[in-house]
A and B are shown apart, each in its own frame.
Chain A
Amino acid sequence: MRFYNPTHRQLKNKGEKVIEYALALSGLITVLTTIGIIWVLVSESWGFFAEIPISQFLFDTQWTPLFSDKHYGILPLLSGTFLTTLIALATAVPFGIIIAVYLSEYAHRDFRKAMKPALEVLAAVPTVVYGFFALTVVTPFLQTFIPDLSTFNALSAGLVMGIMIIPVISSLSEDALYAVPKSLREASYGMGATKFQTSFKVVVPAASSGILVSVILGIARAVGETMVVAIAAGQQPNLTMDPREAVETITAYIVQVSLGDVQHDSMEYRTIFAAGITLFVFTFILNNISFWIKKKYQEKYE
């Protein structure tokens, strides 16, 4: 009779396998997270849509789940999200692209080296701090020349969110501009073009896919941003495009409900998941458009 007598090598191989499976398990957690997010959002909003017809959710112009006269129209929250995002983009896109072009094409190497980490600081500041800034500094400042600006308003929240997003756009755009081959620029200079003409007529178009990706990621960031709008934009669902008024975004609504004492299995509880799945769908689409563009144009110049 022979006993199974594992050799040192076999034991080692076994240990190797155990480690590999343990590591794979950690990788699996990321997949489970995605499944978990989708499952949670779908299962809870399933209960919501069992009671509220989807036509009311999409077309009713009032969102008042916390009042006695309940309406469940997502439009006021969507318009709030859209308005603040639009203002943020109107700030961040021009600034972000000009900064990217300046740092990549014009600035001295040392200036560029000093400014990049400084801009990164803008992205490192916690968002609740930006909310404080919007409410206590920007709104009073804007009120000095826009007298009928309300204390909570879309304008101030959007502007501050824009400043917050500048580094997202400038940093990614700059990488894209930097990757444009030198020969293109030299050809343009050879034709007698100035640096400005070369930058905006040759380099920027050549890097347009990368710049577009940065803008899309900026949009996704603005749509999902919570604390700035919860603090400075207000908490009243308001179907308006007037930036001077208080608006409520999808994210701010979720925060507003979470701050109260909400019973599980109540309709209020389900509304935040219905709002959440709307938000998730938007950011999911935006993210995947950016991946698609990145993949399609990635190796154009290599």
Chain B
Amino acid sequence: MNKIKANRLKDSAFRYVGIFCTLFGIVILLIFIGNILFQGLSRIDWDFLTNLPSRRASKAGILTAWTGTAWILGLTALIGIPIGVSAGIYLQEYGKKNRLASIVELNIANLAGVPSIIYGLLGLEIFARVMQLGGSLLAGALTLSLLILPIIIVATREALKAVPRSLREASFGMGATKWQTIWYQVLPAAAGGILTGIILALSRAVGETAPLIVIGALAYVPFVASSPMDEFTVLPIQIFNWVSRPQEEFLVNGAAAIIILLLITFVMNGIAVYLRNRWQKKVSW
């Protein structure tokens, strides 16, 4: 009898342990966000957004950092999306089920697991050095494009996989070619899923720090970039730079910049989740 009681006790105790653990991470996150807001919110004003970096913490702003982030976001989207979606279409719609295909598949899974800093080393040698792009926006965007390629490819394939065969067969039956079928029928049907993956991938690129530091992005850039060949900094690097300084005022600046960065990340993730839910509801094959 005692043993049964003990087992029941364990059972109900686990309920509480489970709730505690599930909420633990989320509570930590809330504490952290609260702390960041408390430290940094009062620092954010128009000047903070429009000032150039400065040695004096109270004068320093994030203009070059957020414009750099916007540049990187735009260029990475321009390079990464067409390549990623095309590769996804090829692997899902054209790829044959042979040895080569399984090698490519394993290769993409492996790329997804390569630490981001290794992509930085790749970008440093190939883009910055061999192609002589230096620590430019273009070199940074090319590096991040390769980094997010696996995410976009996997999302594209998943979305295409969810489109039913009957849709394709109806299109073929009307005399459409393979590409016509993909372009006019399959892609529009899969657009929601692909878009969700793209936004998540780009939000990952916005938060990346290490690979950009490795290719030679600078912490101190006293001008706003005007072409893809300009040197640059981004929000995460600016945050890293401020956090690495011993003075308290720079930590406050760091907290304020983190609020802006988190805002961008959360908005992008929010859009992705919204699209995913809407798309899932709409599709009822």
Contact = CB atoms under 8 A, between A and B. Distances in A.
Contacts of A224: 114-118
Contact of A34 (B25, B107, B214): B107
B6 to A, nearest CB: 10
Interface in A188-207: 194-197, 199
A194 B213 contact: no
Given A119-B26, A122-B25, A226-B116, A259 B213 contact: yes
Interface in B72-99: 82-84, 86-87, 89-91, 94-95
Contact of B8 (A23, A166, A194, A255): A194
Contact of A254 (B117, B208, B239): B117
B122 A254 contact: no
Contacts of A291: 106, 109
Contact of B110 (A26, A131, A133, A288): A288
A110 interface: no
Given A163-B25, A258-B216, A226 B18 contact: no
Contacts of B219: 259
B283 to A, nearest CB: 19
Interface string A249-292: 00100110011000010000000110010011001101110010
Given A44-B125, A166-B25, A280-B118, A255 B214 contact: yes
Interface string B187-230: 00000000000000001001111100110100100000000000
Contacts of B70: none
A287 B269 CA distance: 26
B62 to A, nearest CB: 14
A108 B149 CA distance: 37
A273 B118 CA distance: 9
A178 interface: no
Interface string B132-152: 000000000000001001100
Given A26-B87, A30-B87, A255-B214, A131 B243 contact: yes
Contact-residue size bin, chain A (C-beta under 8 Å from the other chain):
35 or more
Interface stretch (B50-58, B159-167, B251-259): B251-259
Nearest to B121: A276
Interface stretch (A63-71, A98-106, A236-244): A98-106
B271 interface: no
A133 to B, nearest CB: 5
Interface string A5-47: 0000000110110011011111101110110110011001000
B153 to A, nearest CB: 7
B282 interface: no
B244 interface: yes
Nearest to B207: A126
Interface in B22-39: 22, 24-26, 28-29, 31-32, 35-36, 39
A56 interface: no
Nearest to A159: B28
Contact of B244 (A31, A226, A231): A231
A117 B273 contact: yes
A223 to B, nearest CB: 7
Nearest to A227: B209
Interface in A142-178: 163, 166-167
A213 to B, nearest CB: 12
Interface of A: 12-13, 15-16, 19-20, 22-27, 29-31, 33-34, 36-37, 40-41, 44, 94-95, 98-99, 101-103, 106-107, 115, 117-122, 124-129, 131-133, 135-137, 163, 166-167, 194-197, 199, 217, 220, 223-227, 230-231, 251, 254-255, 258-259, 264, 272-273, 276, 279-280, 283-284, 286-288, 291
Interface of B: 7-8, 10-11, 14-15, 17-19, 21-22, 24-26, 28-29, 31-32, 35-36, 39, 82-84, 86-87, 89-91, 94-95, 104, 106-111, 113-122, 124-126, 129, 146, 149-150, 153, 177-179, 203, 206-210, 213-214, 216, 219, 236, 239-240, 243-244, 251, 254-255, 258, 261-262, 265-266, 269, 273
6 contacts: A34-B107, A118-B26, A119-B22, A217-B113, A255-B210, A284-B114
